[in-house]
Structure 1
């Protein structure tokens, strides 16, 4: 059987239309979804090729708009919390598998637009039907905008491109809730071990902390910055342990909080008798910390699964932005300050 005969026996694909029209598959997808970013001449060529080949574009509400590969792309960052990466991945894979989709993972080494462009381009070249981005987008390039406009995309950290939908918790409110909990216990000041400034979540949590203190008439002390790791929390905790007036600390992640607690203990300061500490994430280990950690809950597994669900709503989603309220899990690492 010849290649020509084989092509004649199967339904034409988007790639066939792209070849016939002399454009990319992304341009075909954009044209068929009536995107305004296609010039009239190109649109006519694509539509003529569609008619000539008899291509039928599947836009069923519960299928992803491109229908090219039955694969969902997932972009992750190598650094920044092992638990969150694995939990998001598990959530995406479980929800995708249940819906009949495979998952293609692209991992980038750092928050660099060139690395992000290459990862998104790789997934686009694979013909993925949708993309979940679990990396904070500090800046967005035109190529990133083009790809996430052509391919349904959901981000799970609150950042977005013009074409992406957003899923996540209100990180600024998370910082406010954590700080307010310590103030409500009677602490007169709250120190902050922040995440890396290039992360949107870190900036937003820091902003919530600052706003909460300002509303209470408290001048914010200097910020100590970590890198999400327990080691960075330990290093900053050693500094805080040497400041006698420190009675309350808000750490931007559970893993940094673990390091802070160890540093305080090694310096002879107990939690929560001498110092109360609250953080964000509520990873599985938080409840087994010594003492069990008070923290703002983020369900990474559920976020990954919900991102897939949002993609599967099709080209006309019910929700464009889904922001979940932060919930505080109160445990034994916080208490009323000593008189």
Structure 2
């Protein structure tokens, strides 16, 4: 009895060791072994599965302004990048009406869009809707608005740099002295940043004097043209006005048309932002608009979509992304009759249209897999 008991114990221990060993390993289809490790299993997931889950995203683009060629080219950039990644974009136009914009944002949240892009707007009107989207796990990426909601990425142009570029060129061309008209409007985050540079400019050049200032965001090009015509009547003599600094391309277009129609092309116009229409006006040797600082509007749209897809993917994104501007001068462009558009501008202006901000290797793979 005693000898038989020892043998049973040995056999029992051997069997127990075999069970433990089998639990520690898992046979694979190829005959190898794989550690029973949850993290290891996740790392073996087919990357194509993750890419597939990012396709077919419904994206809402909520816009405060939807007029002018800058806006149309920005929309092109958004739709182009989203389409390359397998997404679909619906534009909610607000016609400059903040209450309508807030309503559009609320509608996008209620309709269950996968992601939301916001173009301009103000925190007072949009914060509640943005917070509601975030609470419902809808990622949000904003362009040029003063939104400060945790989890939301805000893109902004380097507005102070753009203002500095144009104002320094104005001062150089004017020899550091003269009289200028400012076209600007308060109440918008990018405008407030541009105003900081403008104030510094007046302090730096005390012999440059502002003789008039105005600006209206409603029908901006037409309103600027009307108001500029009135200022030209008030200052009718050559030399009364040295230049116009326009803090938005819609303002620059209106001022340019008024000056041309009045035959006062000795007055030079310096603007901010760029579109195909703007470029044609700058390239025209008879136009008073001689320079503009800008970020390619199509690039803005593309970068904004990339950051939204990073959020879809679960990547950690920055709170604020600053977009670097380029400076476009007539003297750098080809002479007429040769014409150039923004798609060709990179041949003449360094850095134009080539932004890779927000791009990642997996995004490039997703784009290539479509």
User: What is the TM-score normalised by the length of structure 1?
Assistant: 0.69
Which runs of 5 or more residues in structure 2 are unaligned?
Answer: 1-46, 333-370
Query: Secondary structure of 2:310's partner?
Result: coil
| Displacement of 1:329 | 0.5
Distance in 2 between the 1:260 and 1:287 partners? 15
| Residue 283 in structure 1 maps to residue 275 in structure 2 | yes
**Contact persistence 2:220–2:250 (CA under 8 A):** yes
Query: Alpha-carbon deviation of 1:222?
Result: 3.8
Aligned residues: 269
Contact 2:179–2:209 at 8 Å: present in 1 too?
no
For residues 269 and 143 of structure 2, the distance between their equivalents in structure 1, rounded to whole angstroms, comes to 26
Q: CA deviation at 1:328?
A: 1.4
The aligned residue for residue 232 of structure 1 is 223
Structure whose CA Rg is larger: 2
Distance 1:117 1:226 in 2: 21
Instruction: Verify the 8 A CA contact 1:76 1:85 in the aligned structure 2.
Output: no
Change (3 A) 1:229 1:239: same
Q: Equivalent of 2:63, from 66, 73, 76?
A: 76
* Structure 2 SS opposite 1:94: helix
Which deviations, in whole Å up to 9, do the C-alpha atoms of 1:319-339 show, x marking residues without a partner?
A: 332112322101169xxxxxx
CA 1:257 to 1:78, structure 2 compared with 1: closer, same or farther past 3 Å? closer
- Change in CA separation of 1:165 and 1:108 when aligned onto 2, cut-off 3 Å: same
1:118 aligns with 2:115: no
Please tell me whether the aligned partners of residues 61 and 92 of structure 2 are also in contact (alpha carbons under 8 angstroms): yes
| SS in structure 2 of the partner of residue 226 of structure 1 | coil
SS at structure 2 position matched to 1:261: helix
Say yes or no: does 1:246 pair with 2:241: yes
CA distance in 1 between counterparts of 2:122 and 2:190 reads 10
The equivalent of 1:198 in structure 2 is 187
Which has a greater percent of helix? Answer: 2
- What secondary structure, in the 3-state scheme, does the structure 1 residue paired with 2:122 have? coil
Q: Which runs of 4+ in 1 moved over 6 A?
A: 66-69
Change (3 A) 1:225 1:119: same
Note if contact 2:57-2:87 (Cα within 8 Å) is conserved in structure 1. Answer: yes
Counterpart for residue 320 of structure 2: 321
Distance 1:145 1:221, change over 3 A: farther
In structure 1, list runs of 5 or more residues that go unmatched: 1-59, 334-339
* Selected match of 1:96 from 68, 76, 82: 82
- Root-mean-square deviation over aligned CA pairs: 3.1
Contact 2:180–2:209 (Cα < 8 Å) also in 1: no
**Is the aligned partner of 1:265 residue 2:260?**
yes
* Distance apart, 1:175 and its partner CA: 1.8
